[in-house]
Amino acid sequence: MEAIWRLGSLGLPVCAPLEEQAEADVVVIGAGITGLTTALPLVEAGQRVVVLEAKGVGGGVTGGSTGNLYSTLASGQAALRRKWGDEVAADVVCARSEAIDDIEALIKRFSIECQFRRQSAYRLLTGDRQHSDHSLNDERDALLRAGLDVASAEGPGLPFDSWGIRIPDQAQFNPLHYVQGLASVLIGMGVAIHEHCPVRRVDAKEGLVQTDTASVTARHIVYATHTPKGISLLQAGMLVSREYAVAARLRRGEYPEGIFWLLDPFHSLRSYRHGDTPYLMVVGEKHKTGEHEGEHYQLLREYLSSRFEIETFSHQWSAQQYSSPDGLPYIGRMHGHDNLYMATGFAADGLVWGALAGRIIADQILDHDNPWQARFASRRVTPGKSALQYAKENATVTKHLARDYLGTERIDSFDGIAPGQARVATKSGEKLAIHRTEAGELKVLSAVCPHLKCIVHWNPEESTWDCPCHGSRFDTDGEVIEGPAYRPLSRSEGLG
């Protein structure tokens, strides 16, 4: 099943893969919210821009997001304030508020139909009030200090007891329709957006970006790919996770209006209307990428069913998150290369960070001042705020390298793998990712991730091979879905 945002997907003029050598001022890799927001001001300033997208426009994490736009962070303003203090916490709110205003202005300017509307966001508790809520008081205090209006909230349209904080004047939209609208605008301005055109190699020194069929040379190269492709030191400290979503129709009862963060435990809830048909969706059940355990979609269905009268479940999807070690995104010029740019570490808050990143990167390329460049610079070094997560994530990589290389089951044949099953095993000394389709077809790939040689793990809910080290993901044919790997999992010679 696909994300709910594909309902009523806007048609785009055909964007073919790149077939010929091309030259540009800027190559943007990725046609999600970051890439297309970067491209727009560049084109308007007269730059020649080429956009290369591995899937379709918005087909990465933009089209798998919640569609919620908010000035604070889903993980909470109080946590941000504890880590960074009042000044930075207020900067985050200010920068993100401006980015939401920018999105709204573009929607109005180009008449993009994406159901943008201002909404309140709620942080809510639902349990026993006696054990409530000094955490809510901290959060309220942090939001006020950051300059946001807040009010108390009691059961705001939900069919169960809840209380907490309301933050007015946040927003929601359909993120896929938004970027499809932006893409149409850009194509109308003469930008070449090449879909289904994965990038296989970047040579920053030569200003060269290579695809399967052609290459582009450019003065500037932007990784608008959620995490930079290839090898970057920042990947070593990034926490990579997957989060799941389901949407449903109600048998009876109201569809609640707003952004609802239910905190015990964390779930994000919202409604969405396609035509005359309303839907309710919930997002949660996060786990580290490559460490899949349990039935996350089923848990989300149970979560909704225990709180609403569900008629039917209509959609399910998941998305990846990269959380930076110091809690802020990395945006802008990369270490070591003045012509290479990235935007990563958005955690669960990527739509607004993506819009902000697009502005910052475009301003850097155009040599314009941007008040947020320094605050979110990808070249910043913050050991005091980052060391713990760096240590944890490096320990994760070491653990997986040791356990997965030493502990893989040995097999002599593939007979024990039934239709629908998958496993990683060693055969004839080779680590294999083995999957038998429901129809009985056997697909055997190398289990060694082409990024930095960790062993991939099976995600049965997505039918993907996911790497636990830095989050590269591959389909059952080995092709890269997302993450830092450029190349697919290689096909194994060990079949038979």
CB of 214 or CB of 452, closer to ligand FES: 452
Structure tokens at 495: 């079949």
CB of 266 or CB of 486, closer to ligand FES: 486
Structure tokens at 414: 């593939």
Q: Minimal distance in Å, beta carbon 349 to ligand FES?
A: 22
Please state the length of the chain. Answer: 496
CB of 334 or CB of 467, closer to ligand FES: 467
- CA neighbor of 174 nearest in space, from 254, 262, 249, 281: 281
Structure tokens at 314: 């209509």
Structure tokens at 306: 């225990």
CB of 63 or CB of 484, closer to ligand FES: 484
* CA–CA dist 141, 200 (Å, integer): 48
Q: Minimal distance in Å, beta carbon 451 to ligand FES?
A: 3
CB 202 within 8 A of CB 211: no
CB of 247 or CB of 433, closer to ligand FES: 433
Q: Minimal distance in Å, beta carbon 469 to ligand FES?
A: 4
* CA–CA dist 133, 40 (Å, integer): 44
Q: Minimal distance in Å, beta carbon 468 to ligand FES?
A: 8
- CA neighbor of 346 nearest in space, from 11, 36, 75: 75
Q: Minimal distance in Å, beta carbon 322 to ligand FES?
A: 11
- CA neighbor of 408 nearest in space, from 428, 392, 394, 390: 428
CB 182 within 8 A of CB 63: no
- Note every long-range contact of 462-466, with CB atoms under 8 Å and residues 24 or more positions apart, other chains counting: 462/318, 463/422, 463/435, 465/433, 465/489, 466/242, 466/289, 466/290, 466/292
CB atoms under 10 Å from CB of 175, counted, come to 27
Q: Minimal distance in Å, beta carbon 183 to ligand FES?
A: 28
- Binding stretches for ligand FES (CB under 6 A): 449, 451-454, 467, 469-472, 483-485
CB of 38 or CB of 232, closer to ligand FES: 232
Q: Minimal distance in Å, beta carbon 473 to ligand FES?
A: 9
- CA neighbor of 456 nearest in space, from 419, 416, 494, 490: 490
Amino acid in position 296: H
Q: Residue 491 carries which DSSP code?
A: B
CB atoms under 10 Å from CB of 149, counted, come to 11
CB 479 within 8 A of CB 491: no
CB of 290 or CB of 350, closer to ligand FES: 290
Q: Minimal distance in Å, beta carbon 70 to ligand FES?
A: 30
* CA–CA dist 379, 140 (Å, integer): 32
CB of 91 or CB of 475, closer to ligand FES: 475
CB 473 within 8 A of CB 464: yes
CB of 427 or CB of 470, closer to ligand FES: 470
Q: For CA atoms 186, 192, 193, 199, give the dihedral sign.
A: negative
CB of 110 or CB of 405, closer to ligand FES: 405
Q: Minimal distance in Å, beta carbon 379 to ligand FES?
A: 22
Q: Minimal distance in Å, beta carbon 467 to ligand FES?
A: 3
Strand pairing class (430-436; 442-446): antiparallel
Q: Minimal distance in Å, beta carbon 399 to ligand FES?
A: 13
Amino acid in position 109: R
* CA–CA dist 201, 109 (Å, integer): 36
> Radius of gyration of the chain from Cα atoms?
22
CB of 184 or CB of 227, closer to ligand FES: 227
Q: Minimal distance in Å, beta carbon 400 to ligand FES?
A: 9
CB of 166 or CB of 470, closer to ligand FES: 470
* CA–CA dist 376, 329 (Å, integer): 6
